[in-house]
Structure 1
Amino acid sequence: MFIKPIQFALLAFCARTALAVQSLEIKGSNFVNPNTGNRFQIVGVAYQPGGQSGYNPGSGIDPLSDGSVCLRDAALMQRLGVNAIRVYNVSPDLNHDMCASIFNAVGIYMLIDVNSPLAGESIDRSNPSGSYTSSYLNRTFAVVEAFKSYPNTLLFFSGNEVINDLPTGGPNPPYMRAVTRDLKNYIAKHSSRSIPVGYSAADVRELLLDTWNYLQCNTSTSGADPSRVDLFALNSYSWCGDSSFATSSYNTLVSDFSNTSVPVFFSEYGCNKPTPRIFTEVPVLYGPLMAPVLSGGLVYEFSQEPSDFGLVSMNSNGSVQLLSDYDSLQKQYSGLNITTLQGEAAQNTTSTAPACSSSLITNQGFANNFSVPSPPSGAQDLINNGIQNAPVGKIVSVTTTAVSQVVQGTNGQTVQNLAITPLEDDESNNPSTQTTTSTSTTPTSTTSSAPAATTSKKSSAATMQASFYALLGVGFLAVVLL
């Protein structure tokens, strides 16, 4: 009779170690941890090693398919202090279980774009009606299937900068609402939990508010409107060098989005002119001037690519060199107030979306008709019945924590004892108060008239093991005593 409770305790412990993050919800203009009621702010990086041009699903590799690479990068990200990554191009035909599980174990959420740069795998901004096909939607639904079962899948982006000038502001917005609707309807029918869907906008100020208003407004007079985005993000590069809240026009953004009905955040930020970057926007973004309105952001980008925005340089042999931007960003993150970041009760958890009306649109030529295209032929059947040969993702055990590749700090010395530190349930990664980058650090966790906006743009493992074996020892002792 004494053995069963021990067995149950062991099973409970094993199950608990596989679930590090709590799937988040959206309430009003906030991401919220449903267990604690606390607001969640995104402290993230864009993650697309090899860049967009390096995406080749035929190679059998995408950014989340190689567990060894993900372990290395997750350790560096955990040490840096991020709690989220944005991944632009993934292949639903590949297995992502190990990478998703590693990022889950260290408390890092994933923001997944459903599109890719390949023909037929995105809405063509120059031909939205011709590219909105059943085949295209089948591919986006396959991405949903591949990632829906990971608790750390935070959201899906239905589009990225599909509206980037006034000519695209006319025909394209209705198709962004259509894709958003189709994704949300598919998730509602085929996912065990609701996963938000939103849009990542170009920070072109003359179009930004029209884009936001068009996508967040409600066309329904009775209930939810699935074509309405759950969140709105922007790729913003207006803070360059040692700027300020006003000079960068961040003050304008705060004013413009102060009455948002959905979470708003930076899906990219981090101007790289002048260089090196000093990231003085970080304490402002997460401080009292901006945090009440915006929900954080993601620095562009983790790996060094030809556009020169990288925090680390990756070599063909798997080794990594930390760049000065990594140290600078870590220093800025380490000064943030963790309680303010993730430990405060969410406010503004109820909001009413504006009714869709042409009066919301200020630019002549921007779409002001809110009739959304019907799904293309065959697409509704996919939504109702699911796609064929749907990929299946699941959280798996992460048994290796130590990084095998060589990682050098900015001082040229090898980073010693680099490893991930799996977190307990309901925890997300947060910046550490330690800023030394030549040796490994332990991350901190928590429970729970403006210038042009495009100034520069891109063209605890040991403790857990000890607890487990201690508990296991009690079980063996109980058996011996019997």
Structure 2
Amino acid sequence: MIASYSRLLTAICALASSAAAVTPLKVQGKDFVNTKTGARFQILGVDYQPGGSSGFSKTQDPLSDGDICLRDAALMQRLGINTIRVYNLEPTLDHNMCVSIFNAAGIYLILDVNSPLTNGYLDRTAPWTTYTNAYYNQVFGVIEAFKSFDNVLGFFAGNEVINEEATRLAPAYVRAVIRDMKDYIAKQSDRAIPVGYSAADIRDILMDTAHYFECELANSTSSRADFFGLNSYSWCGDATYTSSGYDVLTEDFSNATIPVFFSEYGCNDVKPRVFTEVQALYGVEMTQAFSGGLVYEWTQEANEYGLVQANDNGTITTLIDYDNLQKQFNKLDMSRISSSNSSQTSVTPETCSASLINNSTFYNAWNLPDAPSKVSDYIKNGLPNKPTGSLVSVTATTLSEKVYDYTGKELTDIEFKVLANDESNTPSSSNSSSSSSTSSSSSSTATHSNAASSLNGAPAMALGGLSGFFMLLASLL
């Protein structure tokens, strides 16, 4: 018995040093799919760039401050968010705590690999001048820094690179970046991580852009995008499915062969935003064409798209847009939204051909540029001096900041909840402006254990439910 108790103690200690993880997602046809349950995953997301462009530098980015991430993740849990998009990242910074916090909250990440700093982006007017070895220190650096986290849903190879200012050859360079990223992931990552593109809603070339990235290219199969994001602000105020043009978008993307979602939405021409488009986006018609979307954006910046306001005195305010979005999320039928559909997952791509392109100004060939000289070596052997990332334990549940709603009322019961058993966050009608309750997906059935310690290093432990503990106990005694 002493030996058995010793084994039990050893196993419990091992659990205590581990961290629960959400289930990785994969692309199957035009859906994101849970790799364990097979359930369809719909993005209920928000774009996350606290501080705007000034909040990013070589020494700080949105995922480098654990205290801010804990605060925001708790408020996102309450809202019903299951995915965030982060635009600007510095791969050399320590992101472990922030990513672990969002992971514990049941929130996935879609990460842009570009940054506005030198050697961090493709110049849309002359992409050949920035498609360099130095550029891939940023691109592959982001992949290395985040590839080990199961809650990384995917990477964006570019954001609105193709627009009226772009050179005609821009699509070929973006598709080449997708190729290089997917080749790198295939060689250097333990799992396939999807790579896609985020497009501007320029209707004259929108479908040409989509077709360019989703078609199958025989001599470069890895250059095909895994998903397609759309930055669209056509639904303003209390518009309708038809007046907003959502009906046209639904028809246009009904035959897509990869997941398509709104990588930005939430027009603020009419304030406050009422987010009635949520019921359309997650309604029966649109969920056959779209995999959800990300509201622009989390914190209030100069452009006034924020859901929350980070105040100078260290407090935070949930704005009326936050409450309005929460009310819309809480109306959703998550069981229907997450139901799998074989017609969605069994689609096959078209072969790339000039006939897919209708606008005469859009590039209609797939002559992709060769990768820069060192990229093939990076793909084969890994990026030199590469950053690394790994999950750390998280059980901090209380916020140090005071939180107020848009009326000035203090919200005293905001609490971060560490989800267990591979759960992802989801809206709940029990959430209200005075409640901090969180929720988890009923479709999650996997059984990772959940153990953690607080942000300041104080030890704590959670065993992922009594059933998991007793199963462990029974196996050891």
Structure 1 residue 119: Cα displacement = 2.4
Q: Using a 3 Å threshold, how does the CA distance of structure 1 residues 470 and 246 change in structure 2: closer, same or farther?
A: closer
Greater displacement, 427-436 / 368-377: 427-436
Partners of 2:263 and 2:294 within 8 A in 1: yes
* Correspondences of 1:198-209 after superposition (within 5 Å): 198-209=196-207
Structure 1 residue 331: Cα displacement = 0.4
Partners of 2:101 and 2:394 within 8 A in 1: yes
Q: Using a 3 Å threshold, how does the CA distance of structure 1 residues 75 and 341 change in structure 2: closer, same or farther?
A: same
Q: Which residue of 1 aligns with 2:356?
A: 360
User: Structure 1 counterpart of 2:244, which letter?
Assistant: S
Structure 1 gaps, min length 5? 449-459
Q: Which residue of 1 aligns with 2:457?
A: none
Q: Which residue of 2 aligns with 1:229?
A: 225
Q: Which residue of 2 aligns with 1:238?
A: 234
TM-score by length of 1: 0.90
Structure 1 residue 435: Cα displacement = 4.1
Partners of 1:202 and 1:236 within 8 A in 2: yes
Q: Which residue of 2 aligns with 1:376?
A: 372
2:72 counterpart of 1:73:
yes
2:398 counterpart of 1:412:
no
Q: Which residue of 2 aligns with 1:51?
A: 52
Partner of 1:348: helix, strand, or coil? Answer: helix
Structure 1 residue 25: Cα displacement = 0.6
* Correspondences of 1:457-468 after superposition (within 5 Å): none
User: Structure 1 counterpart of 2:397, which letter?
Assistant: T
Greater displacement, 312-321 / 71-80: 312-321
TM-score by length of 2: 0.91
Structure 2 gaps, min length 5? 445-449, 453-459
Structure 1 residue 54: Cα displacement = 3.0
Structure 1 residue 343: Cα displacement = 4.6
Q: Which residue of 2 aligns with 1:41?
A: 42
2:129 counterpart of 1:130:
yes
Q: Using a 3 Å threshold, how does the CA distance of structure 1 residues 466 and 397 change in structure 2: closer, same or farther?
A: closer
Q: Using a 3 Å threshold, how does the CA distance of structure 1 residues 342 and 20 change in structure 2: closer, same or farther?
A: farther
Partners of 1:421 and 1:461 within 8 A in 2: no
Partner of 1:447: helix, strand, or coil? Answer: coil
Q: Using a 3 Å threshold, how does the CA distance of structure 1 residues 469 and 138 change in structure 2: closer, same or farther?
A: closer
* Correspondences of 1:283-432 after superposition (within 5 Å): 283-344=279-340, 347-432=343-428
Q: Which residue of 2 aligns with 1:96?
A: 95
Distance (Å, rounded) in 1 between the aligned partners of 2:6 and 2:233:
58
Distance (Å, rounded) in 2 between the aligned partners of 1:276 and 1:310:
11
Residues 202-224 of structure 1, C-alpha deviation per residue, up to 9 Å, x if partnerless?
01000100101111111117xx7
Structure 1 residue 19: Cα displacement = 2.0
Q: Which residue of 2 aligns with 1:161?
A: 160
Q: Percent identity, aligned pairs only?
A: 50
Partners of 1:32 and 1:346 within 8 A in 2: no
Partner of 1:302: helix, strand, or coil? Answer: coil
2:153 counterpart of 1:189:
no
Residues 125-157 of structure 1, C-alpha deviation per residue, up to 9 Å, x if partnerless?
111111100110121100000000011000000
Partner of 1:420: helix, strand, or coil? Answer: coil
User: Structure 1 counterpart of 2:396, which letter?
Assistant: T
Distance (Å, rounded) in 1 between the aligned partners of 2:298 and 2:465:
36
Q: Using a 3 Å threshold, how does the CA distance of structure 1 residues 461 and 328 change in structure 2: closer, same or farther?
A: farther
Structure 1 residue 441: Cα displacement = 2.4
Distance (Å, rounded) in 2 between the aligned partners of 1:389 and 1:197:
23
Partners of 1:401 and 1:461 within 8 A in 2: no
Partner of 1:306: helix, strand, or coil? Answer: coil
Distance (Å, rounded) in 2 between the aligned partners of 1:318 and 1:155:
32
Distance (Å, rounded) in 1 between the aligned partners of 2:384 and 2:104:
30
Distance (Å, rounded) in 1 between the aligned partners of 2:385 and 2:342:
40
Structure 1 residue 470: Cα displacement = 7.3
User: Structure 2 counterpart of 1:176, which letter?
Assistant: V
Residues 215-242 of structure 1, C-alpha deviation per residue, up to 9 Å, x if partnerless?
1111117xx7011100011001000111
Q: Using a 3 Å threshold, how does the CA distance of structure 1 residues 191 and 472 change in structure 2: closer, same or farther?
A: closer
Partner of 1:305: helix, strand, or coil? Answer: coil
Partners of 2:62 and 2:89 within 8 A in 1: yes
Distance (Å, rounded) in 2 between the aligned partners of 1:393 and 1:234:
29
Partners of 2:41 and 2:291 within 8 A in 1: yes
Distance (Å, rounded) in 2 between the aligned partners of 1:468 and 1:207:
49
Partner of 2:91: helix, strand, or coil? Answer: coil
Q: Using a 3 Å threshold, how does the CA distance of structure 1 residues 473 and 74 change in structure 2: closer, same or farther?
A: closer
Q: Which residue of 1 aligns with 2:29?
A: 28
Partner of 1:70: helix, strand, or coil? Answer: helix
Greater displacement, 327-336 / 406-415: 406-415
Once superposed, what is the RMSD of the aligned Cα atoms?
2.5
